[in-house]
Amino acid sequence: MITCEEASSLLSDRFDVPLSPMKLLLLRSHLMMCRKCAAIAQQLQSLRKIFLGLETASSHDEISMPVETKKRIQQALREQ
Amino acid sequence: MSDQTKNDNPESSELKNNPEQELSQWVDEHGDLLYRFARCRVNSHELAEDLVQITFISALKDWSRFRGESSAKTWLLSILRHKIIDHYRKKKPESLEDFPDGGEALTQAATEPTEMIQDAESVRLNPEEILEHEELRKTLRECLDKLPEKYRQIFVMRDIENESTEIICEKLGISVSNFSVMMYRARFQLKDCFIKNGFPSLN
């Protein structure tokens, strides 16, 4: 059996690297017995899906660079 | 919106003779986009502004390498990306002490996963619906700001830009196990932060 902490770490790892069959088995059996970790697994999955969709939508973001900064950069370009 | 539409300037061949003038125009056209890009990746607006300025100065020095094959926006973003990576490479590794609370909340979150999921059953996020939600970006920015810079950089590269683990480790010069620990901490802290910001109630 693995602890909740070990399971949490594997829940993150599985997005990034292939897990060994043994680790996968340990993780799956933990998730079958631990409702809390199973819920975390679902949250992490949902959040990852949402974040992955963010880059394409980033041009709708509302922040702008301050006008003074733009002027400062233009000034710096002239001084080069 | 200008930075979305004016990617290629039909007069660029003419303006290529006057790079300062052209770049100055690009500051107006693409400055906001570059700033936003940098702002998501570093935790201070001053640093984001500096990185954008460094990008433009670099673009001026490397002007002969811009061939107009890619759009101005793509070219500038690729320079900025490298500048951000350089910035992180120069920085010393961060530790738990870099967290505002000395890492207390994070350590607790990492060792007591049950603390984080009081509302676990109600968290069923629907990506399409939430993407449209204005709060998402605000929350993401707030939560990202609470992460140490190195974690933020890795998180953005992996979970927002979908860069491969291998490439991130190579670019940042870190081991896979180092990467794994930082991603784990970043993801759990962000998740915790989203839940605290009321995202469980979205559904």
Chain A residue with CA closest to B61: the answer is A80
Of all residues in chain B, what percent are helix, strand and coil, respectively (each to 5)?
Answer: 75, 0, 25
Inter-chain residue contact B159 with A16, CB threshold 8 Å:
no
Q: What would the two tokens of residue A11 be?
A: 């829940």
pTM: 0.57
Residues of chain B in contact with residue A20, where contact means CB-CB under 8 angstroms, are none
| ipTM value for the complex | 0.75
CB A3 within 8 A of CB B112: no
Alpha-carbon gap, residue A42 to B189, rounded angstroms: 15
Name the burial class of residue B42, with classes exposed (0-12), middle (13-18) and buried (19+) by CB atoms within 10 angstroms of its CB.
buried
Inter-chain residue contact A80 with B24, CB threshold 8 Å:
no
- Local confidence band at A14 (pLDDT 50, 70, 90 cut-offs): very high
Residues of chain B in contact with residue A79, where contact means CB-CB under 8 angstroms, are none
Closest CA to B26 of A62, A68, A73: A73
Region A10-18: mean pLDDT is 94
Per-residue pLDDT reduced to its tens digit, A34-60: 999 999 998 898 888 878 766 554 444
B residues 40-99 closer than 8 Å to A (CB): 40, 49, 52-53, 56-57, 60-61
Per-residue pLDDT reduced to its tens digit, B2-33: 444 444 444 444 445 688 899 999 999 999 88
CB B138 within 8 A of CB B194: no
Taking each continuous run of H as one helix and of E as one strand, the counts in chain A are: 5, 0
| Phi and psi torsions of B62, nearest 5° | -100, 20
Confidence at residue A1, expressed as pLDDT on a 0 to 100 scale: 85
Ranges of residues in chain B with a pLDDT under 70 are 1-17, 69, 91-135, 199-203
The SS3 of residue A34 is: coil
